[in-house]
Structure 1
Amino acid sequence: MRTALATALLLGGASWLPTIALAQTAGDSASDNAAAQDVIVVTAQRREQSVLEVPIAISAIGGDSLASKGITNSAALQSAVPNLQISSPYGSTQPNFSLRGISVANEYNSNQASPVGVYLDDVYLANRTAHGMGLFDLDRVEVLRGPQGTLFGRNTTGGAINFITRAPGLHDNEGYAEVGYGNFNTWTAQAAVETTMVENELGLRLAANYIKGDGQIRNVFPGGRDGNSQDTLQGRATLRFRPGDGPLDVKIKIYGGRDRGSQAAVQGFLPARAGLGFFETNENRLGLNRTEAYGISANVAYHISDALTLTSITSRDAGKQNLQQAADGAPVDILDINWRSSYNQFSEELRLNYSNDKLSLVAGGFYGWDTVVTDNTFNIGSALGPGVNGGFFQHYRQRRSSTALFAQGDSKLADRLTLTLGARYTWDRATYRDGYAYLFAGDIGGAQTPLATTVPCAGVAGTCAYDPTARYAIDGRNRALTGRVALSYELPGGTLLYASYNRGYRSGAFNGGGYTSSAGITYIAPERVNAYEVGFKGRYGGILTLTGSAFYYDYTNQQVQDTRPGPVSFLVNAPKSEVYGAELEASARLSRMFKLSASAGYLHARYKQLTLQGTTLDGNNLPFAPEWTFQAGIDATLMDNATGKLTLSPTVAYFSRQYFSPFNAINATGTTQNNAELQQGAYAKVNVSAAFQTGRFTFKAFANNLFDRQTYAYGLDLRGADFPYNFLVPSTPRTFGGSVRVAF
């Protein structure tokens, strides 16, 4: 009933909103031109189209808009996109994207693939360590909501996020440099320079980003490191070559970056919270999050004719993480973890684009592999007895490969009616090798004395004799047919109506959290989503741009963690979930000096069948899936004359209550859990920025989380793993500062 009502409202809006907009004054020609410039060109269907021509729910944000909204890393995107949540137990490192309720749920291991595919210039980033990137010198970000299993492929059951960098235009020599300072002694610097060596033929663009700031969460432990500090350095070089201004267009990009910030401060062991403020901790071993990401890619396009283009995208990427996480939030050693892994990946996509007046076709093939080698240490105070410390060491090597063939075509059935048909067939293989883990005696940072092998060992931890040669291995494979069917119709006034069916697929997975026993290390079934969607898009009266969608998902086999006595972590499938909702996005260019933007999302995301720790959770909310989200912003030009241009840009983002665990507020029978702690109530956050541009200089001031709202970004049940507390991560307090930018 709610889906039908949402559909009726959206389709009804497609008819009466144009009438309202056309009744308004269209504004002067300058306003109309500004409104036209607000419509972004996207490549969501692997070809350039206006965002209003694509029958997919897309949020497209230009690079300048990202800056004005205060979005400086991928974790901040949720303030601009409806039904998008971003969380992490590690701060901005290894973010978990939840789109329309589909996420990694309570899974936190680095070997898992995100169900929201993350791309950098159309290159799939397999490892989630690389997803916590700082955003700099971008052309735009495209967020595609709903399964994208045809053109983007596996692991896009929730959608896809494509970060598109600025490439040489082959026409100009230009650039900019910017330096800023903010509270928490935060210095920022960003610069880009572009040079055209041969007009229309050869150009180079270099860009860099630097952030250095003190911890944002005060640590009261004497001599202790403050939490959530920043220390980021990134660089990128893009060479573009189009010999003889001819049909061959080559872009070669090299990038690299590293992060050395302190860990996200944890609120854990309750006695350690006595007398502390929300943005304070008392932690004796607050560690560092050290990550690296780097790679090279080649995008080679050959325009065979006006109608036919062949494109090859080849990439090689790598990186590593070394996260020192004091997971107890206490001045004593209860649980300290060192998460270490390194990853490598390769991918090649070859596709052919064909287009004429009646047909637009994309077809091609994909091959890619990625590896992750993990060495984790779990130090547990008094693990072996009162005052006798110990823990677990874990090692494994995972390799995944994927091969796919795909095709999608848009065929004009009539002048205004288009049929879209697409299909993709994927073969996935995975191996888990060299797996071993053991129980040891020893202090944090000291010598380890192995006591018992836990992997391979199917029994309770400590019951298998230590065997340094014992190894565990397992294989997995699956294949899937995914696809898309859509009908779109353009009304005489330009409004696009569409209805679609999409099938999405997330490949099977190994349990990266199995270190106390090999009983839980299995290869579980892939996730699948059957998604039905209707929507509309249009521009009205030269003022208003409006898009809306309603959707229903039949979602099966979400991959979630289940901790059982032992304790043993199992990766299991939630058999069935139901997700439905609606979204609206609007922007109104009321004049050359004033623009409004707003979006809203409604989401109903429930488990229909799920049992964890022997407890039935049917009807519970999916984690990180608030029922309501709202975003709104204003770009008001207060002055624009010979002296300069002054713009004020406030934004507000609202999120209703969300749970961090599939348990919601239910406690597993026979445990000491208090899962009601693992949630964040409804809240709103306000950001504001002001920019004054005069000549080549721009002076900017900003404040994010203006009213210093105290919210949690992540929560995890550790009581179920026999620890006496839950794990909660506070989000960022108020930040403010300013910068100066010069263009040349």
Structure 2
Amino acid sequence: MHSKSFHGLLLLSATLVPTTPAFAQDESAATIPEPKANTGVVAGAVAVAGSGAVSGDTIMVTARRREETAQEVPVAISVLSGEQLDATGAFNVQRLQQLTPALNFYSSNPRNTAINIRGIGVPFGLTNDGFDQGVGIYVDDVYFARIASATLDFLDVDRIEVLRGPQGTLYGKNTTAGAVNITTRRPTFDFEGSAEVTFGNLGFKQAKASLSGPLADELAARFAISSTGRRGTIYNVTSNNWINEQDNLGLRAQLLWQPSDDVEVLFAGDVSRQNPECCAQIYVRTAATQRTLDRQYDALAAAQGYAVVSTNPFDRLTDVDAPLNADNEIGGGSVRVIWDTGPGTLTSITAYRYWDWLPENDRDFTGLPINTASNNPSQQTQYTQELRYSQKGENYDFLLGAFGFRQEVRTEGLTRFGPAASRWLLAPSNALSNDPSVLDGLTANNDIRLDNTSLAVFGQFTWQVSDRLSIQPGFRVNYDKKVGLYDSVVVNGAGELVTFASTDPRIVAQRGVASPQRFAPKFSDWNFSYDLTATYRLGDDVHGYATYAKTFKPGGVNLNGVPNDAVGNPILAAGTVLPESVAHYEVGVKSQFWDGRVTLNLGAFRTDIQNYQALVVNGQFGVQRGYLANAEAVRTQGIEWDVSIRPTERLNAYVAGSYTDATYRQFADAPCPPELSGGGSGAVIGSPGAPGTNSPANCDISGQDLPGISKWVFSYGAEANAPVSFLGQESEVYVGVDANTRSGFSSNPTPSIYTQVGGYTIANFRAGFRSDDGLNVFGWLRNAFDAQYFEQLAVPSGNTGLIVGQPGDQRTYGLTIAAKF
């Protein structure tokens, strides 16, 4: 079990808890028309899980790179304050999806993480480094190229804005599905601080602390630290240890220099580290495939005298025998300069980010030595430079920007097979299947590289045609270039190179399991995109808007291997994928009633995508991670609604929901589901799951659902409080509930009867006490009814019929003590 020192941070947090003067809000930098720190309950925001800690304050969002309330923004947007994140236990993006219905998060480990909005963003499945994300992650205006960053804890967050729909005409990197815009708390020229400690079952321990204040008349600093630890949720009987644990540490420091009323410079640096023993997916069930019976899971396991430790995944037991590790470190620094030139504002953001990933996995998901190592350690560096100029006139405003992005990814990985591999992976008709030495020690060493360059100019103009009508056109010109390398060298246990030139029966058998391959794909392209939004004020607090956007997602290169032809050469045409062409339509109404006590927002959208970038899986075991290809057409459409009500300062409630219909409109050359895989080739195709019959080379899944998307999702909750007096101070006690209900979804790129995840409801409760001087003590209960659900299911390579998955967290409970001063 991995561990790190938690006690030092706990001691630091504890020293900051004593009763202190009331917390003072940041009112610095008021002259700079860029993001400022705020606290409190979001007024008029969407999908808000109100904590009730402060009433009457409004968090200003910066979705359009200027400060305004969420109700003024003609974009579908969900906003959560830092207080609300703390109250609901949403300390990372995985928890955030319970509060924002349109956001989907799936992760089998930090690298293999997907964030989708309205069902689109990245292909569902194992990660390929050679394509762009459709959902942008931004932290204080800095673009994070790796979604792995989203698996780390939020650190000193002021608010999070989840923007739905294309955002390329206002944001540095083009994003076709939406953006997660995270704003941290800024340094203040008034001294302030916070501390929080949490204890729970499963050994859960979390501590957070921050300090902010002046260093000189023109200089202020802020420092924040966070640590999270939890015992694993799955017990490994092989290592006699709990795995899939949490072990996170994050640090962030900022220095704000304001030499004049017109200029500010913000220096920021951060580092976050995860080091858990993770991440295992465990046995869920077996599926009937079209393999012969002696090559399906039950027969293969019986032939080696193997029985899984438990066939009930909610026993949370596994016997995987390879080492597990998910060491993940992300960090970097940035400099943001804002200059109020008089007519307008010039902003420059210069940033460097790095990402180091050191994994160890057991890719056979069993206690047998089939795959004894499957490790792809990876290092990424990125440099970004963004310039923006904005100006506001009497009846217009505009923003012009330029963005440069440079990314380098270097991966040195290996896959190694053990003595059980021969019987498991070679056909029983092959005499070599009874010889453990044939595949024992077989190793594929992979050298994977990516150099990625992106340059863009973008802009948006708003014309206030009348008191009621405004027109907002935007544009983006983008250049992308990707240069990749995939070089897999295969060596057998005797140290011999495995090549396609050899006719040795042992080499022939070995290359059928791990085939050597080398290719260097390249892609470059120019793209132009644009959008047009019309906004009309239907009443004093009722705004309608309509948007059309024509945009794109850049093409990509395959960096996990591609199919070989009959003589063993890589099929180079599969080395690149075409850009996605996206047409997006949206209409919505944002309204408030009863003197702002009720917010009601409705929206409808449709997104049509040509050349959708999808994950496909080749039948050759040697490219077990699958590769990217283009589906001809995809469509996602739906409706969304958000209602929040605060009839008094003692009660608030909300309900947000979405209906999403996302389907492949045309995908004739898709991979087949397990029930139509593993059989022979021939004109007569067998019935699904009929052993020993022929399988189709591919399947037409036109009209079927995209993976990972629940058609119906609801987030809802409420909080009530009552005044009390404590030590002569006005205080309050409160109770709250937040819940999320979602319908079932497909958990495989091609829908399968074996990988359909059933719908479920997660309900969380809290009750506590908070005082006006910043003390907050509350108990919490998450997944209160101990719902048994899967975060995702997966089909391992080889078509044996094994289905594995990740059970969601069981019921957890704990106590949080927090203070602000």
The interval holding the TM-score normalised by the smaller chain is: 0.7 to 0.9
Equivalent residue, structure 2, for 1:355: 392
Output the amino acid matched with 2:383.
F
Does structure 2 conserve the Cα–Cα contact (< 8 Å) formed by 1:370 and 1:399?
A: yes
Q: Tell me, yes or no, if structure 1 residue 115 matches structure 2 residue 131.
A: no
Tell me whether 1:599 sits opposite 2:614 in the alignment.
no
Paired residue type of 2:115: F
Relative distance call for 1:204 and 1:34 in structure 2 (3 A) is closer
Which range is displaced more, 691-700 or 231-240? 691-700
Displacement of 1:410: 0.7
Q: 1:354 to 1:378 in 2, by over 3 A?
A: same
Residue identity over aligned pairs, in percent, reads: 28
Paired residue for 2:487?
436
Q: Distance in 2 between matches of 1:419 and 1:102?
A: 27
Offset at residue 357 of structure 1 (A): 2.0
Q: Secondary structure at the match of 1:397?
A: strand
1:202 maps to amino acid: L
Find the residue that maps to 1:76 and give its secondary structure: helix
> Which structure's residues are more often strand, by fraction?
1
Hey, what's the Cα distance between the residues in 1 that align with 2:640 and 2:323?
40
Q: Is 1:563–2:622 an aligned residue pair?
A: no
Quick one: which of 262, 268, 284 aligns to 1:247? Answer: 262
Q: Which residue of 2 aligns with 1:714?
A: 792
Alignment of 1:205-604 (within 5 A): 205-221=222-238, 223-244=239-260, 246-268=261-283, 271-272=307-308, 274=310, 276-278=312-314, 279-285=316-322, 287-305=324-342, 307-335=343-371, 336-381=373-418, 382-384=420-422, 385=433, 386-388=435-437, 389=440, 390-433=442-485, 435-442=486-493, 449=495, 451-452=497-498, 472-514=519-561, 517=564, 518-519=570-571, 522-542=575-595, 543-567=597-621, 568=623, 569-604=626-661
Q: What does 1:646-661 correspond to in 2, within 5 Å?
A: 646-661=733-748
3-state SS in 2 of match to 1:330: coil
Q: Contact conserved, 2:122 with 2:134, CA < 8 A, in 1?
A: yes
* TM-fit CA distance, 1:286: 5.2
Pair 1:539–1:161, CA change in 2 (3 A): same
Q: What do residues 351-405 of structure 1 show as CA deviations (whole Å, max 9, x unaligned)?
A: 1000022111000211111111112222334445442322422111101110001
Map Cα deviations across residues 661-696 of structure 1 (whole Å, 9 max, x no partner).
23212xxxxxxxxxx222211111011222312444
* CA contact 1:293–1:317 (8 Å) conserved in 2: yes
Map residues 61-100 of structure 1 onto 2, 5 A cutoff. 61-90=80-109, 94-100=112-118
Contact 1:60–1:143 (CA<8 Å) still a contact in 2?
Answer: yes
* 3-state secondary structure, aligned to 2:272: strand
Structure 1 residues 36 and 55, CA, compared in 2 at 3 Å: closer, same or farther?
Answer: farther
Unaligned runs of 5+ in 1: 1-30, 443-447, 666-675
Query: 1:698 aligned to 2:776?
Result: yes
TM-score by length of 1: 0.88
Once the two structures are superposed, residues 446-491 of structure 1 have per-residue CA deviations (whole angstroms, 9 ceiling, x without a partner) of: xx83532589xxx999569x999x9532211122111210100112
1:42 pairs, out of 61, 81, 92, with 61
Inter-CA distance 701–339: structure 2 relative to 1 (3 Å threshold): farther
Q: Deviations over 1:402-450 (max 9, x none)?
A: 00011101101111100000000000001013x31022335xxxxx835
Change beyond 3 A, Cα 1:35–1:178: closer
Does the CA contact (< 8 Å) of 1:531 and 1:551 recur in 2? yes
Distance 1:107 1:526, change over 3 A: farther
CA deviation string 1:80-108 (max 9, x = no partner): 11221100121x66531111010323342
Structure 2: how far apart are the matches of 1:454 and 1:583? 54
Moved more, 422-431 or 330-339: 330-339
In structure 2, C-alpha distance between the alignment counterparts of 1:660 and 1:326, rounded to whole Å: 20
Report the Cα offset of residue 315 of structure 1.
Answer: 0.3
- How far off its partner does 1:606 sit? 0.7
Separation in structure 2 between the aligned mates of residue 526 and residue 259 of structure 1, nearest angstrom: 33
2:41 alignment partner in structure 1: none
Work out the CA distance in 2 between the residues paired with 1:318 and 1:59: 29
Q: CA deviation at 1:327?
A: 2.9
Paired residue type of 1:527: E
Q: In 1, distance between residues paired with 2:74 and 2:610?
A: 25
User: Aligned partner of 1:711: which letter?
Assistant: Y
User: CA offsets, 1:562-612, max 9 Å, x none?
Assistant: 222324433101110111101011211111111001101001101011121
Aligned alpha-carbon RMSD (Å): 2.6
Which deviations, in whole Å up to 9, do the C-alpha atoms of 1:690-727 show, x marking residues without a partner? Answer: 231244432121122112212111222225x4455233
What is the CA distance between 1:548 and its match in structure 2? 1.5
- Greater Cα shift, 595-604 or 563-572: 563-572
Q: Whole-Å Cα distance in 2 between the matches of residues 453 and 345 of structure 1?
A: 36
C-alpha contact 2:562 2:627 (8 A) present in aligned 1:
no
Please list the CA deviations of residues 620-673 of structure 1 after superposition, one character each: whole Å capped at 9, or x if unmatched. 1011111000000112113443453222221110110111123212xxxxxxxx
Structure 2: which 5+ residue stretches go unaligned?
Answer: 1-50, 286-306, 423-432, 502-506, 565-569, 672-697
Structure 1 CA distance for aligned equivalents of residues 724 and 591 of structure 2? 29
Q: Take 2:582 and 2:740, find their aligned partners in 1: how far apart are those partners?
A: 28
User: Residue 183 of structure 1: CA displacement?
Assistant: 1.1
Residue 617 of structure 2 aligns to a residue whose secondary structure is strand
- TM-aligned CA distance change 1:317 to 1:512, over 3 Å: same
Q: Tell me which of 178, 185, 190 is aligned to 1:159.
A: 178
Indicate if the aligned counterparts of 1:213 and 1:231 stay in contact, CA closer than 8 A: yes
Task: Look up the SS of the partner of 2:381 in the other structure.
Answer: strand
Q: TM-score, normalised by structure 2?
A: 0.80
- 1:554–1:579 CA contact under 8 A, matched in 2: yes
Offset, 1:34: 6.7
The residue type paired with residue 76 of structure 1 is R
